[in-house]
Amino acid sequence: MSTQLGQPKSTVPKFGRLDAALADVKSAMQRSCSYLLSRQHVDGYWCGELEADSMLEADYIFLHTLLESGDPERLKRALTEMMRYQKDDGSWSLYPGGPGNISLTVKCYFSAKLMNLSASDVHLVKAREWILANGGVVACNTFTKMYLCALGQYDYDAVPAIPPEIVLFPNWFYFNIYEISAWSRSILVPLAIIYAKKPYKKIPPEHSIDELFVGGRANANLRLQWDRKNRISWRNFFIGIDRLMHWAEAVHLRPVRKVALKRAENWMLERLEMSDGLGAIYPAMMNAIIALRCLGYSEDDPQVIRARDEFEKLGIEQEATPDFPHPTFRMQPCMSPVWDTGQAVYALGDAGVPRNDPRMLKAADWLLSKEVRHKGDWAVKVPKTEPGGWYFEFNNEFYPDTDDTAQVLLGLSKVDNPRERYQHQVVQRAIEWEFAMQCRNGGWGSFDKDNTKMIFQYIPFADHNAMLDPPTVDITGRMLEMLAAHGYTRADKRVEKAIQFILSEQEPDGSWFGRWGVNYIYGTFLVLRGLEAIGFDHNEPQVQQAAEWIRMVQNSDGGWGESCGTYDDPDTRGVGVSTPSQTAWALLGLLAAGDDRSDSVAKGVRWLLEQQLADGSWDESMGEGAKREGIITGTGFPKVFYLAYTLYRQYFPLMALTAYQRAMERAA
């Protein structure tokens, strides 16, 4: 992406080197702390908006069309929001500046027609040309095709089968549902109910998308195609299984279907309790609403009402602005209060906000109130472990994750709580839970232990590229930092095993892959922070090679940036427009590697100071008017879904300036 950040500069003067300008760094830190504290909710937490692609608005329109519900004015505003991000070539992309995505573009095109845009509309003409040039509807992923089936635009017997019988497989069985990722599990169980019930709503002919099938829908080959080059392959094996399941559906050979549907229903209802919707994430919540209606739950059933209310809470009404003089409505993929609060408390405490400051204590108490005390899906693999830890959202009791838990523990380490004994007990429970979740190879995944069966990638409905939750170096790096903050050292065999896992994953150029943030800058900074904290010598070649890679990919303006495109093309790693969050990550990585005197660090700090706004904040927007978008630095699922954490640009620069100040004071 070559578009420059569309943001005003602060009044901080430009410097050649910043080694002696600690007063300016401290001033920037103070303004940053003030701004961040001003964003704290009265209840003690922080929660920045999560920005994602237009699929959320497209699916919102689809859902309400299928269920004949929704506020007509809100749906119009959702359409306005969706249409403003169409690319010049007619497509929609997963991230600003990225290439068009076929599934997303088909969804947006269809949603526009459902909202009565004509096929002759210039925007849809361009979209249709792009879609046909890129394979048409048949090239979409399974989830998209399933939604199209519900409105009669695809055939249920041509989509990969998602039979509800999968919930009947015992936990010891190789293909049981607990061997796929937690997010896929919460999406697929209600989707299996939908597949079994096969909802269908007839729509007006003018809303049809038959024109998006290359050669026409009647001539399109909708079924999965065999891999003819590699006849003996897992793909062909699973396609064969899929064909067999479709045959069984056709002849009604489903002896345990009723039992399976009841098990799936109970599984879903159980996880709707103590959570803000199923899994507290957009696609699972939407699927759950449809699944409940398919199971016969009425519009006024308490379960349906609650599921819909939680779903609608993800929406944000946007009034007209000078940049875009039309009111819009957009959806968030979920909410991030626990994550943002853990990060904010840590950044503020590290920057010098007193450990007993009432605002810090209020945040700590809010975090403590969110501790998980019930066993969730994770307990299938670690049944003898006491519940502990934290989830990402406001309420999601079945799905705590190791990354949020580590960050909350880092945040709590910066607070002196009057309830010292209670906080200590909570912390110890969480640490024990974290160790129980450590994978065989020494690393940590996010929601489950040893979720690594690669064979699941070949299942036909796995084309959303997110079936597994393997150990990652970014989470493991944060884990090392957290453990060090609570007194653990390399003398602990579990810690040493984690270090060896990290070292084994280093790329030839010295960087590390970032699973949960974009991308190699994110992975590398977290690894270096973890290694430094746990006492790994920064003179070791692995550390210095990583630091040299960071210096090597610095932009000419002094900042760092990296595009989501690096997941598709790793050769472009470290390439992208400079952003405050990624510049902060790079600086944190270099400082953790012992580099506090290089030109790279000096220029990076200068860039952050120059980009800070007068109110102490940083901006990460690109474009103007209708195309004003936030640069994406967060990763949901590589190659499939990305998101912008709007508070990343605030607490990470503060952390970087704090680390720089500390390094300069040590050197003085």
Handedness of CA 593, 654, 410, 579 (dihedral sign): negative
Beta strands in 307-463 (DSSP E): 315-318, 328-331
SS (H, E, C) 36-96: HHHCCCCCCCCCCCEECCCHHHHHHHHHHHHCCCCCHHHHHHHHHHHHCCCCCCCCCECCC
Tokens encoding 413: 């380490």
List the alpha helices (DSSP H) in 505-598. 520-534, 541-552, 580-592
Output phi, psi for 608, to 5 deg. Answer: -60, -40
3 state DSSP class of 630 = strand
* Active-site residue identified among 403, 463, 596, 619: 403
d(CA 158, CA 203): 20
Tokens encoding 365: 């108490």
3 state DSSP class of 478 = helix
Residue 264 gets which letter from DSSP? H
**C-alpha distances in Å from residue 178, one per residue of 186, 382, 395, 509:** 11, 12, 21, 35
Tokens encoding 538: 């920064």
Catalytic residue status for 242: no
Residue burial 88-125, b: 16+ Cβ < 10 Å; e: rest:
eebbbbbbbbbebbbbbbbbbbbbbbbbebebeeeebe
Give the containing element (helix H, strand E) for 4.
none
Q: Torsion-angle region of residue 41: left (phi > 0), alpha (psi -120 to 50) or beta?
A: beta
d(CA 652, CA 557): 19
**C-alpha distances in Å from residue 382, one per residue of 387, 437, 438:** 10, 7, 10
Do the beta carbons of residue 560 and residue 549 sit within 8 Å?
no
- CB-based contacts of 605: which residues, under 8 Å, 6+ apart? 18, 25, 587, 656, 657, 660
Other residues' Cβ atoms within 10 Å of the Cβ of residue 505:
17
d(CA 236, CA 222): 16
Tokens encoding 259: 């039992």
Other residues' Cβ atoms within 10 Å of the Cβ of residue 418:
11
Residue 331 gets which letter from DSSP? E
3 state DSSP class of 205 = helix
- CB-based contacts of 325: which residues, under 8 Å, 6+ apart? none
End-to-end CA distance of the chain: 39
d(CA 353, CA 366): 18
**Residues designated catalytic:** 403
